[in-house]
């Protein structure tokens, strides 16, 4: 057989066709299909008594693939390991050397190459900069894998014993679960506070429609301004009585220019957030489609080519070549005034700047040109990436901002202030291709575009008509996948490659559920979080996990030995596990006997955990397979029909309170007290340590606090 001079090994079979086309004769390209070695599933795989040495074995099912790779290696003089350009990719290349025994083949030259995009130029340039394996990156990945393994394999069995098999306690996922649980607790404890706003509609000569100004507050004789805090209808009524008898004049008309900065190109985190908000994609779906775009799509008339740069990055850096290409394209497409080379935004110390931001590999390949070769979801995500990158290379948008202050003096006591504003777009800049929809400047949509030209300083205005409106403060929103990713990144928890698998894992374990875009705790998730928080507070501490990420970065930079991290971490973990085993022996979480009698065999049924939480099962299994829903009574009568209120679960596992009477439609996300609101007659519920009306439009809050209750 003919001898192949050079062999390139990549991770994904999808890349093989494109890369081989770029290189032509003399090169063979093969795929490893991801990892070829890993820690064994049946045991810890980390020798904690002998310097934490990992035990790697060939992944089941990879034997035939490795055999085929060995045959290809035998025919090659030079082997290039071209796995993904990150720590995990570096580790895969290192494992390939061991699995294929490349170091034991004299005469073979083995190199590591990386490319940020699968294009002819990028692949050829990588061959010119071939290098050896970067063991610092490999060790950082080994440290992450070993930490995750010891946490998962030492803690998960506790969850199996006390809750149910199949649960897990990952290092990062446990912190994410705690963050969701903490947010849920904040929302449950939140007490809404009433406040009022007052708008005023002024009739102005020269304008067809009234203009609306917003009540700001007052100015005292000494010039001190106080922003209004109208807490009740009584306060609003007293204020309106003053305002209706006041004289109004235009105190200031200020016209100024305002700049709206072009957005930075996408990182992994911001891509996941924007794809969730704009396209409704889950983080996992975003990464799957982005991987397809990166690895290569068969484009009509072009062939298989990678459409975007590497998708796992936390950098917003752009190469000089990509910047120049963007300037040329923007100038030719939109005109000389549109391109810009904005200064890159300052990045945090946690940023690993090994890669560029996520961008199209060729900006001239517009979404419209290649739409016929892509699926609908691929087109939508590529369009989002293309528009964001193109916008990031364009000039800022400019507005003419008109601000008006209207004053209404009350004798010599104080002066009431109303304000209004209007923004007029002067130059669209990056908005020509992309609008992130995050305009923070207040713009009055009712204001007339000629407002600045019609209103003059010191002009007197007629008494307006007033529109007082009642509001209630709102708690922080439930986490969505997008906001959770943002929070994880801000706290330094995990890295670009971990966000999607972290969220998908706690969803798959049914620790949380997703309703619409919001994430909610399930009963199983609450139990797991309580165990982790009680027995392993360090593991679920966001600050500790963020510091661990910094330690892994230090390993990647060559400043820390990876095993020293395990040496400082594992002994404390082992002590915590031993103590937890003793403590949890006293805790009855699963298989707790109840007073409910099995109608088939007469045994007392026990509490079991299923995918959606607790249910009742006969202990006589497998002879008796009787099961039924488990409803925990809370000792409160339904305010509608008088029967028992019980704890229920939605189809997706979210806990709520409902009536045991199937014909009654009462339900509440907060625990009912059994009493009715004296103001509107709705049910009263517990929020934190107070009692409030479940009718959000009522806003009633009981003055007295309720006693702390052990659930």
Q: Which residues are catalytic?
A: 310
Euclidean distance between CA atoms 546 and 490, whole angstroms: 10
- Contacts of residue 57, defined as CB under 8 A and 6 or more positions apart, other chains included, come to 37, 38, 39, 40
User: If we measure between CA atoms, which residue out of 414, 450, 467 comes closest to residue 202?
Assistant: 467
Give the helix ranges, DSSP H, for 245-279: 268-274
Query: 195-216: string of b/e by CB count within 10 Å (b at 16+)?
Result: bbebbbebebeebeeebbbbbb
Euclidean distance between CA atoms 591 and 463, whole angstroms: 72
CA atoms within 13 A on the CB side of 294: 22
Euclidean distance between CA atoms 266 and 286, whole angstroms: 13
The alpha-carbon radius of gyration of the chain (Å, integer) is 32
Euclidean distance between CA atoms 506 and 174, whole angstroms: 9
Residue 202: cis peptide before it, omega within 30 degrees of 0: no
* 151's tokens: 């946490």
Q: Which residue has the tokens 């705790």?
A: 521
Euclidean distance between CA atoms 297 and 280, whole angstroms: 23
Mode of pairing for the β-strands spanning 667-668 and 655-659? antiparallel
* 127's tokens: 């061959």
Euclidean distance between CA atoms 34 and 10, whole angstroms: 8
Query: 653-690: string of b/e by CB count within 10 Å (b at 16+)?
Result: bbbebbbebeebebebebbbbeeebeeeebbbbbbeee
- What H or E segment, with its residue span, contains residue 15? helix 13-23
Q: What is the DSSP string of 185-245?
A: HHHHH----EEEEEEEEE--TT-SS-EEEEEEEEE-TTS-EEE--B-SHHHHHHHHHHHHT
Torsion of CA 219, 220, 223, 226, to 10 degrees: -50
Task: Give 451: exposed, middle or buried? Use CB within 10 Å, 0-12, 13-18, 19+.
Answer: buried
75 DSSP assignment = T
Task: Give the Å distances, CA to CA, from 381 to 275, 307, 432, 463, 470.
Answer: 7, 11, 19, 52, 41
* 630's tokens: 């488990």
E strands, 476-626, where?
Answer: 512-515, 518-521, 593-597, 604-610, 613-617
DSSP 3-state of 566: helix
Q: Which residue has the tokens 């946690």?
A: 350
343 DSSP assignment = P
Task: Give the Å distances, CA to CA, from 711 to 533, 584, 632, 635, 644.
Answer: 17, 18, 11, 12, 17
Per DSSP, the chain holds a count of helices (H) and strands (E) of: 18, 31
């Amino acid at each position: 057989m003919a001898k192949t001079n050079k062999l390139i090994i990549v991770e994904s079979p999808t890349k093989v066709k494109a890369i081989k086309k770029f290189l032509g004769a003399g090169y063979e390209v093969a795929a490893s299909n991801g990892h070829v070695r890993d820690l064994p599933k049946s045991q810890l795989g980390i020798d904690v008594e002998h310097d934490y040495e990992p035990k790697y074995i060939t992944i089941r099912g990879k034997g035939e693939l490795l055999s085929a790779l060995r045959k290809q290696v035998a025919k090659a003089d030079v082997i290039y390991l071209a796995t993904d350009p990150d720590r995990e990719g570096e580790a895969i290349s290192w494992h390939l050397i061991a699995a294929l025994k490349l170091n034991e083949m004299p005469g073979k030259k083995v190199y590591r190459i990386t490319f940020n995009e699968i294009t002819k130029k990028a692949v050829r340039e990588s061959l010119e900069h071939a290098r050896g394996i970067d063991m610092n990156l490999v060790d950082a990945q080994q440290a992450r894998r070993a930490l995750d393994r010891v946490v998962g394999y030492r803690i998960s069995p506790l969850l199996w014993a006390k809750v149910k098999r199949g649960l897990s306690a990952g290092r990062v996922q446990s912190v994410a679960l705690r963050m969701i649980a903490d947010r849920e607790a904040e929302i449950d404890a939140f007490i809404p506070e009433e406040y009022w706003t007052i708008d005023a509609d002024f009739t102005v000569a020269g304008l067809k429609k009234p203009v609306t100004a917003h009540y700001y507050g007052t100015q005292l004789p000494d010039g001190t301004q106080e922003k209004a805090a109208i807490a009740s209808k009584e306060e609003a009524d007293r204020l309106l009585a003053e305002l209706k008898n006041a004289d109004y004049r235009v105190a200031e008309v200020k016209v100024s220019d305002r700049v709206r900065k072009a957005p930075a190109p996408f990182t992994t985190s911001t891509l996941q957030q924007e794809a969730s908000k704009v396209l409704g994609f889950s983080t996992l779906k975003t990464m799957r489609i982005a991987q397809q775009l990166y690895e290569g799509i068969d484009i009509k008339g072009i062939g298989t080519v990678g459409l975007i740069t590497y998708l796992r990055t936390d950098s917003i850096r752009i190469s000089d070549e990509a910047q120049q290409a963007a300037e040329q394209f923007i100038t030719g497409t939109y005109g000389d005034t549109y391109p810009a080379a904005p200064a890159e935004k300052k990045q945090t110390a946690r940023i690993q700047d090994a890669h560029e931001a996520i961008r199209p590999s060729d900006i001239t390949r517009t979404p419209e040109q290649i739409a016929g070769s892509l699926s609908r979801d691929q087109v939508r995500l590529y369009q989002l990436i293309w528009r964001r990158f193109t916008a990031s290379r364009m000039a800022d948008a400019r507005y003419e901002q008109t601000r008006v202050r209207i004053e209404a003096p009350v004798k010599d006591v104080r002066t009431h202030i109303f304000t209004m504003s209007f923004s007029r777009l002067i130059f669209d800049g990056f908005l020509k291709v992309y609008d992130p929809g995050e305009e923070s400047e207040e713009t009055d949509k009712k204001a007339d575009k000629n407002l600045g030209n019609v209103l003059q300083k010191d002009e007197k205005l007629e008494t307006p008509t007033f529109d007082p409106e009642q509001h209630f403060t709102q708690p922080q929103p439930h986490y969505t996948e997008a906001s959770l990713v943002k929070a994880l990144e801000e706290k330094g928890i995990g890295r670009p490659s971990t966000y999607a698998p972290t969220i998908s894992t706690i969803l798959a374990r049914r620790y949380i559920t997703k309703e619409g875009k919001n994430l909610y705790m399930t009963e199983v998730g609450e139990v797991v979080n309580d165990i982790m928080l009680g027995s392993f507070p360090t593991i679920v501490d966001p600050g500790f996990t963020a510091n661990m990420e910094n330690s892994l970065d230090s390993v990647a930079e060559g400043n820390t030995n990876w095993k020293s991290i395990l040496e400082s971490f594992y002994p404390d973990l082992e002590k915590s596990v031993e103590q937890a085993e003793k403590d949890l022996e006293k805790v009855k979480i699963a298989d707790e006997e109840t007073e409910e009698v099995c109608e088939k065999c007469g045994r007392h049924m026990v509490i079991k955990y299923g995918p959606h939480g607790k249910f009742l099962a006969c202990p006589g299994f497998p002879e008796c397979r009787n099961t039924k829903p488990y409803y925990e009574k809370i000792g409160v009568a339904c305010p509608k029909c008088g029967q028992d209120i019980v704890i229920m679960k939605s189809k997706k596992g979210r806990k709520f309170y409902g009536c045991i009477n199937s014909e009654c439609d009462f339900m509440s996300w907060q625990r009912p007290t059994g009493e009715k609101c004296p103001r509107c007659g709705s049910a009263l519920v517990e929020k934190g340590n107070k009692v409030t009306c479940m009718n959000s439009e009522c806003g009633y809050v009981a003055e007295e606090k309720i006693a702390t209750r052990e659930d």
